């Protein structure tokens, strides 16, 4: 396991754009029409890269087509992670949405599709 | 002495064999322990109320027997308390099932506690309701109301344990309160010992979703490998009197407990990590630390607590008309273009075959579906490929079933009147449940516990009110 993960991060070249998925893992949770995305750097050395590039503005833009109205970011340096709280992104939430995933559980991987530049802070 | 909290289920519909290795491990350890089944979601409760309306004996967790039967005898024999919100809309019905199951155990009976006070539907109109900020819906008319339940804290559960309950049955309580309660009962923590309450609540938060802290909902092949997902072990949280926590799982099970699995669950469904609201304490995670002690042993420390909020969350479920879905597949050469044409045809048909208030959405599964907006913005942005395997999905809602049926019938008609090579139509309809959440004054909620089948004289109301 550790070996596979080492290979994944070893192939990252500084200065190149990669999907966030290469640097971090995430989990989505929903309450009402509010989504939280907890995002953690695999390697704590990459945490500053996430802080610099996974901004409230960029996350709001990524989810704008879904009607997201606000993103609040809570930094958790002790966990090498952050909590991104997005309002009005669930199309009515689990009891209101017509989409295939009313909980928004899959949206952690939409976040992980965001491009980040390795090593740029 | 360490107290062990085992998790046997993380939602209604979870694996029903999960508790077996957890209970075996609790027995092997021989330490004081409790087993928790968390089986109640927002919609689960509405579904339970509907079931109760159709059948007065229903309305509790449908899998209750399957969950309890394999472990009840062992838990009663070894003094492992069982707590569950599997009462849903009908805690008395669930108590009856537990009593019947207990009659078949070696002991032949069990002391069953029942929590009261979460169902406030009858009093809703007279209560001082504040809107909960993450939702913006209006309170429905009385005729549409299905249920209104307060998220109770741990106090009535502790009261039930104090009455001698070996199995505690509740409806709506805050999920982690099911775990906090046996800790309060065992350690005798004070209700204003905020740091310990916060630690106990987070022990519950880590355990409440079952396998989500032990490698379930974590695997991402090539990035996050999880061994033995088919037999993933559900969590056991070791809690010390001073509030120290260690997350672990039964020996010999699949899955894993690592700093990463614990971190993902720690922030699950949390908003501001410095102010995580629960009925019993406001949890501050800003200084939390997660540390791997060894294989499948992760310590969580640095959790702080602040005084409990003065209002409790209440979720109201109400009738939301009807929802229907229908799907058809297109595959092979030019499949995406055919699926897109089918979508266009449907969209046009609905403009003159359905009333304007019918809300609908079309997805092309395999191209852009779960991430898309109702308007299909992503679908239009993505390039088309020549071939593939796509499934066109229509979802529609309306107050009247007949319009939803007619909309999905329009998709069915694509068999003969749509593009070439479509097949595999499936249709389904269901009643739609909507929810709205509010905050009620703690002082307006009366939560208490009784022993099932105890005489009414012995049933006392909790002096501490709404905790």
Mutation pick from B134, B208, B367, B394 vs chain A, by most beta carbons of A within 10 Å, is B134
pLDDT level of residue B386 (50, 70, 90 thresholds): low
Average pLDDT along chain B: 93
Q: Residues of B with CB below 8 A from A79's CB?
A: 263, 266-267, 288, 290
Show Cβ contacts of residue B378 under 8 Å, excluding neighbours closer than 6 positions.
A65, B368, B371, B372
Interface A–B counts its CB contacts (< 8 A) at: 132
| Choice among B132-146, B339-353, B441-455 with the minimum mean pLDDT | B132-146
Residue pLDDT, tens place only, B262-285: 999 999 999 999 999 999 999 999
Identify the helix (H) or strand (E) that includes residue B160: helix B155-162
CB contact under 8 A, B289 and A78: yes
- Smallest CA–CA distance from A89 into chain B, residue: B373
Kindly state the tokens that stand for B167.
């199995």
- The answer to whether B118 touches B172, Cβ cutoff 8 Å, is yes
Give me the pLDDT at residue A1, please. Answer: 41
Give me the pLDDT at residue B457, please. Answer: 35
- Mean pLDDT on B350-373: 91
Q: In terms of pLDDT, which residue wins out, B384 or B432? A: B432
* Alpha-carbon span B4 to B22, nearest angstrom: 10
Give me the pLDDT at residue A11, please. Answer: 67
- Mean pLDDT on B125-151: 84
- The answer to whether B153 touches B173, Cβ cutoff 8 Å, is yes
Mutation pick from A1, A10, A26, A31 vs chain B, by most beta carbons of B within 10 Å, is A31
Mutation pick from B264, B359, B429 vs chain A, by most beta carbons of A within 10 Å, is B264
* Alpha-carbon span B120 to B137, nearest angstrom: 19
What residues in chain A have per-residue pLDDT under 70?
1-11, 120-121
Give me the pLDDT at residue B456, please. Answer: 39
Dihedral angle computed from the Cα positions of residues B341, B346, B352 and B355, in that order, rounded to the nearest 10 degrees: -150
Bridge partners for B423 per DSSP = B329
- The answer to whether B343 touches B393, Cβ cutoff 8 Å, is no
Enumerate the domain spans of chain A.
Answer: 18-94+103-113
Q: Residues of A with CB below 8 A from B265's CB?
A: 27
* Nearest partner of B380 among B344, B418, B423, judged by Cα: B344
Q: HSE-up of B132 (CA within 13 Å, CB side)?
A: 23
Give me the pLDDT at residue A8, please. Answer: 57
Instruction: Report how far apart the first and last C-alpha atoms of chain B are (Å, whole number).
Output: 26
CB contact under 8 A, A95 and B369: no
* Alpha-carbon span B70 to B18, nearest angstrom: 10
Give me the pLDDT at residue A2, please. Answer: 46
3-class DSSP assignment, residue A88: coil
- Mean pLDDT on B356-363: 96
Q: Are strands B387-398 and B311-333 parallel, antiparallel or unpaired?
A: antiparallel
- Mean pLDDT on B304-330: 95
CB contact under 8 A, B43 and A107: no
Give me the pLDDT at residue B378, please. Answer: 83
Give me the pLDDT at residue B133, please. Answer: 79
Give me the pLDDT at residue A97, please. Answer: 87
Cα-trace Rg, chain B: 25
* Alpha-carbon span B277 to B34, nearest angstrom: 24
pTM: 0.92
What residue ranges in B153-294 does DSSP mark as E strands?
167-169, 236-239, 245-248, 276-277, 282-284, 289-294
Buried-exposed string B349-369: b where 16+ CB fall within 10 A, e elsewhere? bbeeebeeebbbbbbbbbbbb
Q: Residues of A with CB below 8 A from B218's CB?
A: 27
Give me the pLDDT at residue B467, please. Answer: 37
Kindly state the tokens that stand for A116.
């980040």
* Alpha-carbon span B39 to A9, nearest angstrom: 39
* Alpha-carbon span B263 to A81, nearest angstrom: 9
DSSP state of A15: T
Instruction: For residue B140, count other CB atoms closer than 10 A to its CB.
Output: 17
Give me the pLDDT at residue B369, please. Answer: 78
Q: Which of A25, A30, A78 has the CB atom closest to B224's CB atom?
A: A25
* Class of residue B250 by CB neighbours under 10 A (exposed 0-12, middle 13-18, buried 19+): buried
- Mean pLDDT on B247-258: 98
* Nearest partner of B84 among B101, B102, B96, B68, judged by Cα: B68
DSSP letter for each residue of B433-464: EEEEEEEEEGGG---EEEETT--GGG----TT
Show Cβ contacts of residue B225 under 8 Å, excluding neighbours closer than 6 positions.
A1, A4, B219
Residue pLDDT, tens place only, B221-252: 999 999 999 999 999 999 999 999 999 999 99
Q: Please determine, for residue B454, whether its predicted confidence score (pLDDT) is greater than 80.
A: no
Give me the pLDDT at residue A9, please. Answer: 56
- Smallest CA–CA distance from A74 into chain B, residue: B272
pLDDT level of residue B464 (50, 70, 90 thresholds): very low
Distance from CA of B74 to the nearest CA of A (A): 34
Q: In terms of pLDDT, which residue wins out, B1 or B219? A: B219
CB contact under 8 A, A95 and B393: no
* Alpha-carbon span B461 to B467, nearest angstrom: 12
Q: Are strands A70-76 and B81-84 parallel, antiparallel or unpaired?
A: unpaired
Q: Please give the angle made by the CA atoms of B386, B389 and B391, to the nearest 5 degrees.
A: 120
Q: Please determine, for residue B122, whether its predicted confidence score (pLDDT) is greater than 50.
A: yes
Q: Please determine, for residue B458, whether its predicted confidence score (pLDDT) is greater than 50.
A: no
Q: Could you identify the residue written with the tokens 């309580």?
A: B173
Q: What is the ipTM of this complex?
A: 0.92
3-class DSSP assignment, residue B235: coil
Q: Please determine, for residue B463, whether its predicted confidence score (pLDDT) is greater than 60.
A: no
Phi, psi of B141 (to 5 degrees): -65, 155
Instruction: For residue B402, count other CB atoms closer than 10 A to its CB.
Output: 9
Q: How far is CA B276 from the centre of its chain?
A: 18
Give me the pLDDT at residue B265, please. Answer: 98
Residue pLDDT, tens place only, B174-228: 999 999 999 999 999 999 999 999 999 999 999 999 999 999 999 999 999 999 9
């Amino acid at each position: 396991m550790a070996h596979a993960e080492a290979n994944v991060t070893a192939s990252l070249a500084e200065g190149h754009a990669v999907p966030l998925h290469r640097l971090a893992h995430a989990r989505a949770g929903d309450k009402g029409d509010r989504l939280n995305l907890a995002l953690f750097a695999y390697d704590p050395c990459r945490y500053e890269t996430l802080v610099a590039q996974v901004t409230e503005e960029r996350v709001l833009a990524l989810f704008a087509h879904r009607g997201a109205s606000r993103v609040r970011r809570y930094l958790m340096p002790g966990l090498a992670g952050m909590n991104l709280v997005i309002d009005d992104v669930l199309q009515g939430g689990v009891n209101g949405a017509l989409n295939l995933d009313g909980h928004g559980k899959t949206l952690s991987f939409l976040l992980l599709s965001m491009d980040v530049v390795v090593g740029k802070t | 002495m360490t107290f062990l909290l085992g998790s046997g289920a993380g939602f209604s519909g979870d694996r029903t064999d999960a508790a077996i290795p957890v209970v075996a491990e609790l027995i092997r350890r021989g330490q004081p322990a409790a087993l928790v089944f968390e089986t109640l979601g927002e919609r689960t409760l509405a579904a339970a109320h509907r079931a109760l309306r159709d059948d007065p004996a229903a309305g509790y967790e449908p899998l209750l027997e399957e969950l309890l039967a394999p472990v009840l005898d062992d838990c009663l024999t070894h003094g492992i308390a069982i707590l569950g919100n599997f009462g849903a809309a009908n805690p008395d019905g669930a108590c009856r099932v537990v009593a019947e199951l207990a009659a078949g155990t070696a002991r032949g009976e069990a002391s069953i506690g029942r929590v009261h006070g979460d169902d406030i539907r009858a009093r809703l109109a007279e209560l001082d309701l504040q809107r909960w900020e993450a939702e913006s819906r209006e309170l429905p008319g009385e005729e549409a109301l299905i249920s209104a339940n307060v998220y109770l804290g741990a106090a009535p559960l502790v009261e039930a344990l104090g009455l001698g309950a070996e199995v505690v049955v509740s409806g709506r309580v805050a999920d982690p309160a099911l775990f906090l309660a046996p800790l309060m009962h065992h350690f005798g923590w004070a209700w204003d010992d905020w740091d310990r309450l916060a630690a106990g609540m987070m022990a519950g938060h880590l355990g409440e979703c079952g396998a989500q802290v032990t490698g379930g909902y974590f695997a991402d092949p090539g990035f996050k490998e999880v061994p033995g997902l088919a037999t993933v072990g559900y969590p056991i949280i070791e809690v010390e009197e001073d509030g120290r926590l260690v997350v672990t799982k039964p020996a010999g099970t699949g899955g894993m407990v690592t700093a990463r699995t614990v971190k993902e669950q720690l922030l699950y469904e949390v908003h501001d990590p410095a102010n995580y609201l629960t009925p019993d304490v406001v949890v501050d995670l800003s200084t939390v630390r997660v540390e791997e002690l060894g294989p499948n042993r992760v310590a969580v420390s640095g959790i702080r607590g602040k005084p409990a909020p003065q209002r409790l969350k209440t979720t109201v479920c109400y009738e939301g008309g009807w929802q229907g879905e229908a799907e058809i597949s297109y595959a092979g050469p030019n499949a995406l273009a055919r699926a897109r044409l089918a979508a266009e045809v449907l969209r046009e048909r609905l403009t003159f075959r359905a009333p304007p208030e019918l809300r609908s959405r079309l997805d092309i599964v395999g191209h852009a579906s779960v991430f898309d907006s109702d308007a299909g913005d992503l679908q239009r942005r993505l390039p088309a490929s020549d071939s593939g395997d796509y499934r066109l999905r229509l979802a529609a809602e309306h107050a009247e079933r007949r319009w939803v049926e007619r909309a999905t019938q329009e998709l069915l008609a694509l068999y003969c009147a749509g593009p070439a090579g479509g097949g595999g139509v499936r249709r389904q309809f269901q009643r739609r449940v909507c929810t709205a959440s509010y905050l009620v004054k703690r002082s307006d909620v009366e939560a208490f516990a009784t022993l099932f089948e105890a005489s009414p004289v012995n049933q006392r109301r909790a002096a501490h009110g709404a905790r």
